[in-house]
Chains A and B, each alone.
Chain A
Amino acid sequence: MARAAGHYPSTAYIRFERWGKNTLLYGGLLLGVLVMVLPFVWMVLTSIKPRAEILSYPPSFAVHHPTFESFRDLFRLVPMKRYILNSVIVAGAVTVTNLFFCSMAGYAFAKHKFWGRDKIFLLLLGSMMVPWQVNIVPAFVLIKKLGWLSTFQGLIIPTMAGAFGIFLMRQFIREIPNDLLDSARIDGCKEFYIYWRIILPLCRPALASLSIFMFMQQWNNFVWPLIIIHDSKMRTVPLVLAVLNGQFGGSFGLLMAGAVISILPMMIMFLLFQKQIIKGIVLEGIKE
């Protein structure tokens, strides 16, 4: 597209070129959107089709007789309510404990002086570099020795605090001016009171990011429940999806209904809290 000196393209050509570029741009992006959305659309459509329509040929995007049959089958076949409750309990408990423990530790690493502070912090960050496969075998053995297989404590306690949360909170709390804390100290406030009354309220945006992030991660978590849950009553949503996939691999209506139950809450959460989620992700990216 080299333009010889002195030869200027006509305005019509420029307009044509811009039009072409825009068509290409939006065409490409829309194709991408199609590819991204299609599996989700297909999932939802399959989940509300009656059994006869699911395997009909040719596959069709039209649903002639929409029905909740597959969902009803799913809840009849397995105690789905119980599994959803399990997932909510685990994700909720892990989120709440992370909020407290990570903000407390983040506060100490940001604003307190104690021997070994920076070394301990670096060690914690370093633990994020070790792949989880390295500690999963002994962690399983530990949980087994504690008698925590197939229990809530086995699912919750090992993830009650994490290096990522501590890092996120520390970065945020560092920005809080020291004067604020010092004047509270002069007024005779105890350290825990300062944390509870000053730090926590000021951290609200970071806490929001962390809680959404933790809840999502736990709701979607698969490997840890797969390894330590052997009692069918204690299954979480991803785990029951895997079990159904193994037992009823061909019942796609059932499986898609399960997938909808797993995916829909996260989609709603994402649409509501998109800003916080993306901020959390980008921050994680910047830490390096």
Chain B
Amino acid sequence: MMFFLNKLKARDPAGRLLFFAEFKKMIPGYLFILPAVLIISVFVFMPIVASLFLSFTQYNVLQPPKWVGLNNYYRLIFEDRLFWIAVRNTLMYVAGTVPIGVALSLLLAVWVDSVKIRFMKYLFRTIYFLPTITAIVAISVVWKWLYAGGTYGLINFVLVKMGIPPVDWLTNPKTTLPAIMLMSIWGGIGYNFIIFLAGLQGIPRTIYEAAEIDGASGLRNFWHITLPLLRPAIVFVVLMSVIGSFQVFDQVYILTQGTEYVGGVLHSALTIVTYLYERGFERFEMGYASAIAYMLFLLIFVLTLTNLKFLRLKE
């Protein structure tokens, strides 16, 4: 504020106010950012603030919001069993998909990086990346077919061939969430893989050559050269995967569609965002949905901070 006042009072040697002359020069800059800033303000910034306000109200869109203080949060934390089921499922989903997904994509990246034939490298890269560019909805529909019950689904057919009884993947409460996790790992590998591959290509070959002269090879190279030098990429991928996994929605929606609730039989795959969707857009409890959104935001925020702390500590 002081800075701004000083600007206002500044004069040129002839004693004229500088403010307007200076401001005039800035007009093009402001005009250039105007459309983008306007759009983002109206559809992102304002809603972020409005959402916080709504989370303290009861609101069904038709009647004006009614202030209820912390009631929504109180209900969520102390009375809503479903919310805690959603939190538990989401945590299980994150704990299952992130470590396996990151480890697999790292392994594949290291392998593809060591492929010497350029064409093969290109081929592998293209194929591993394919699921990343496709709509999760379309992928989920395909996997629903793979998971089909009885012996119709391809996965069950393979199981039966191996002498394992078929599983009703998407209607058995025990297997619904794991089935969704498996599909998500498959679909998410490509993105992490590309980031790792870019990181690996940034590591100078000379380091490995020097290590080879010293007699190090294989696994030791991986532990003592690749992993430490890849740390920034790993930190980024872990953070992004955790944040993304907390927001899982599309695949849960499609794979559990047709069962009694959003979230599958006995809420076995109910996640935080699916629950938010159900409350907000099927029952139109906008205030309550906003409270869920802020709880999710808080959860992601805290986990990101601890993640950062944990991942940096080992440096």
**Which A residues are closer than 8 A to B by beta carbons?**
1, 25, 28-29, 32-33, 35-40, 42-43, 46, 55, 57-59, 100-102, 104-105, 107-109, 112-115, 117, 120, 123-124, 127, 130-142, 144, 157-163, 166, 191-192, 195, 216, 219-220, 222-223, 226-227, 237-238, 241-242, 245-246, 249, 252, 255-256, 258-259, 262-263, 266-267, 269-271, 274, 277-278, 281-282, 285, 288
How distant is the Cα of A226 from the Cα of B125 in the complex, in angstroms?
Answer: 32
Q: In the complex, what residues of B have CB within 8 A of residue A282's CB?
A: 194-195, 198
Q: In the complex, what residues of A have CB within 8 A of residue B111's CB?
A: 25, 28-29
How distant is the Cα of A28 from the Cα of B112 in the complex, in angstroms?
Answer: 10
- Could you list 28 A-B pairs, sorted by A, with CB under 8 Å? A32-B108, A32-B124, A39-B143, A39-B186, A59-B152, A101-B35, A105-B32, A131-B247, A132-B247, A133-B247, A135-B44, A137-B51, A158-B43, A160-B39, A163-B44, A191-B28, A192-B28, A223-B277, A241-B141, A242-B253, A246-B257, A249-B257, A252-B145, A256-B145, A263-B139, A270-B126, A282-B198, A285-B236
B117 to A: closest C-beta gap in Å? 10
B309 to A: closest C-beta gap in Å? 16
B220 to A: closest C-beta gap in Å? 10
How distant is the Cα of A222 from the Cα of B136 in the complex, in angstroms?
Answer: 8
Q: How many residues of B contact A (CB 8 A)?
A: 93
Are A227 and B139 closer than 8 Å at their CB atoms?
A: no
A14 to B: closest C-beta gap in Å? 12
**Which B residues are closer than 8 A to A by beta carbons?**
4, 7, 25-26, 28-30, 32-33, 35-37, 39-40, 42-48, 50-51, 54, 61, 107-108, 111-112, 114-115, 124-139, 141-146, 148, 151-152, 154, 157, 186, 189, 191, 194-195, 198, 218, 233, 236-237, 239-240, 243, 246-247, 249-250, 253-254, 257-258, 273, 276-277, 280-281, 286, 289-290, 292-294, 296-297, 300
Are A288 and B236 closer than 8 Å at their CB atoms?
A: yes
